Chain A
Amino acid sequence: MSDSGPVQMRSPVLTVRRVDAYHAITVVAPNIAERFRSGQFLAVAVGGEQSGLLLRRPFAIHDVKPDYGGTVEFLFSVRGAGTSWLAERRSRDLLDVVGPLGRPFPLPRDPVNCVLVGGGSGCAPLFPLAHALRRRGCRVDFVLGAATADRVCSAITARRVAETATFTTEDGSFGVRGRVTDPLGQVIEDARSDVAYACGPMGMLRAVTAVADAYEMPAQVSVEESMACGTGICMSCVVPVVGDDGITRMVRACVDGPVFRGERVRFDDVGTIPFDALGAPGWKAQTDGGRNAGREAG
């Protein structure tokens, strides 16, 4: 309904390809491409119109190109029936996509040194971010990690775009054996990084935030919280985040995020309602024996 917000489109698939261990689908979606800012995501319907798979799947936007009026690419792994259906799509099939969704990565006003840290498929949103930072004259250094070599995403592109690219794998099959946070301090020192951007599992974001904190630099983190609608209606993707006023609120990753300032996210309390969160039961435990849990759609 507005010119700046997300749009819903039936977008033709342009290409389906493999990027390392991931599937990548590019759709023709000019209205989404023109609105996109790095860090935003798509919510894709799966299974076809009559499908029993009701919920959209959220995917970070990995690439945007001007071809055909504007195309958008996202990466995914096959994890269940929905992503398996997606992996079977072919060129010219139509996908029902909503986007771009969520708050983008904030970009520095001045050219500064940025370290971009990604874990597994969490690397995807960092590539458009790297391009946007480079256009602003920022130095970009990558630290990308995964469990195994084939799950490190777009290493060649990372080397091409960034000043330096450091890779880690937990099994040592590629780059440094270990986790992204192992070489991160050295990279920050060598590159004299001013800001960290990170995307990946919660544990990794927590660790990156701690390293950035030790170097007294801000971290912008993009959380991977499971979502049902992606549009802010269902309230399922909440994360405890401290606001400017110091009050913790259960905020929606899809509309209030997925990008937050790392030090504001209460990583240790993710999955819980902290006792001091706004509106938490706190002093009086809500014991309804679980019998009536949740049946309150409205």
Chain B
Amino acid sequence: MSSDLRIKLGRMELVNPIMAAAGCAGTGRELARFVDLARLGAVATKSVMLEPRAGRPSPRVAETPSGMLSSIGLQGPGIEVFLQRDLPWLLSRGGNAVVSIAGGSASEYAELARRLSEETGVAMIEVNLSCPNPADSGRDFTDDPAEAARVVHAVRSHTQSDIPVFAKLAPDVPDLVGLATACAEARADGLSMVNTMRGMAIDPATLRPAVAGGLAGLSGPAIRPIAVGCVYRVHAALPDVPIIGMGGVRTGTDVLEFMAAGATAVAVGTVNFADPSACARILREFEESTESRGVVRVGDLVGAAHRPHGAALGR
């Protein structure tokens, strides 16, 4: 018997827990050549900012063991073009649109949220907090729970009440649970975990950083155990806050792992670069594995790793 794949992410219902992660699916257009976007739980669009942005110099990417470092610099067309061109296209393909936003101040984030609230079809706003905060000497918003909370509060205050706001957190912060708590107290409806973590590769030929930006974001299977650990810790501390888990998902089994750690939905990121049809394959693998386990509702898998050994799984 097939499992019921529907899950509830706060007030939002997804047809299944598999999402495409922000920054790893463009605005859906490129991925749509390989995956039917309407079959996914949701598609998170690449972080959009108020103005067009050229991004960082190249080289922007370096391959690392089981992962990659990237420093793209949030290149994008800005909110105007996004609303005119990209969002309507994604919606026309039946994509469930999670819009990731990025800015340099709480007011920029708030303005983006206000603009998105005026549109129909925005299913969720994801607040990318891994952005330099000029008012905090360029540290990321995630580096200071109070700053992150200020941004989340500003976004929540300027977003229609029926659109959930999720805060996206980085794993390499001094106090992850404190940061997650601060975001939840600032009325985030849920958390996306995790963003990339800072790392570096040195080009042996030049003895200079392999990525032009120097430090870059590490992603891919290399960070999966870290990401699963982050989800587990935050779910243990805040069991009522829904989590979208991500970080190195490559197979349907990885989805199970994140859900058991406490994620309600799971986003597929870096593997889309390696395998453009990965989202469809992972959904298929996940379906097969829940069916073979006799899982009735996949929602029952959430937090399974926190329950006593042998606790029933929806049988």
What's the minimum C-beta distance from B222 to chain A, rounded to whole angstroms? 8
What's the minimum C-beta distance from A49 to chain B, rounded to whole angstroms? 9
Stretch from A203-211, A260-268, A276-284 at the B interface: A276-284
Given contacts A54-B63, A233-B273, A297-B23, whether A279 and B55 have CB atoms under 8 Å apart is: yes
Which range contains the number of A residues in contact with the other chain? Answer: 35 or more
A-B CB contacts (within 8 Å), total count: 206
Give the residue name and chain of the B residue nearest to A280 (CB). B54
A1: which B residues are within 8 A, CB to CB?
32-36
Q: How far is the CA of A1 from the CA of B280 in the complex (A)?
A: 12
- Chain B residues proximal to chain A, CB less than 8 Å: 21-26, 29-36, 44, 46-47, 51-61, 63, 65-78, 100, 102, 126, 128, 130-132, 137-140, 168, 170, 195-198, 211-217, 219-222, 269-277
Give the residue name and chain of the B residue nearest to A290 (CB). B214
B78: which A residues are within 8 A, CB to CB?
279
Q: Does any Cβ of B come within 8 Å of A6's Cβ?
A: yes
Q: How far is the CA of A286 from the CA of B77 in the complex (A)?
A: 18
Contact A229 B273 (CB under 8 A): yes
Contact B36 A273 (CB under 8 A): no
Contact A232 B30 (CB under 8 A): yes
Q: Is the interface of A mostly helix, strand, loop or mixed?
A: loop
What's the minimum C-beta distance from B268 to chain A, rounded to whole angstroms? 12
Q: How far is the CA of A140 from the CA of B65 in the complex (A)?
A: 45
- Chain A residues proximal to chain B, CB less than 8 Å: 1-2, 5-6, 8, 45, 52-56, 96, 98, 225-226, 228-229, 231-238, 249-250, 255, 270-273, 277-281, 286-298
Contact B75 A235 (CB under 8 A): yes
Q: How far is the CA of A237 from the CA of B170 in the complex (A)?
A: 25
Contact A289 B140 (CB under 8 A): no
Q: 22 A-B pairs, CB-CB below 8 angstroms?
A: A54-B220, A229-B273, A229-B274, A234-B24, A234-B61, A238-B55, A238-B60, A271-B58, A273-B57, A278-B54, A279-B51, A279-B75, A291-B138, A294-B217, A295-B195, A295-B197, A296-B195, A297-B70, A297-B130, A297-B195, A298-B22, A298-B126
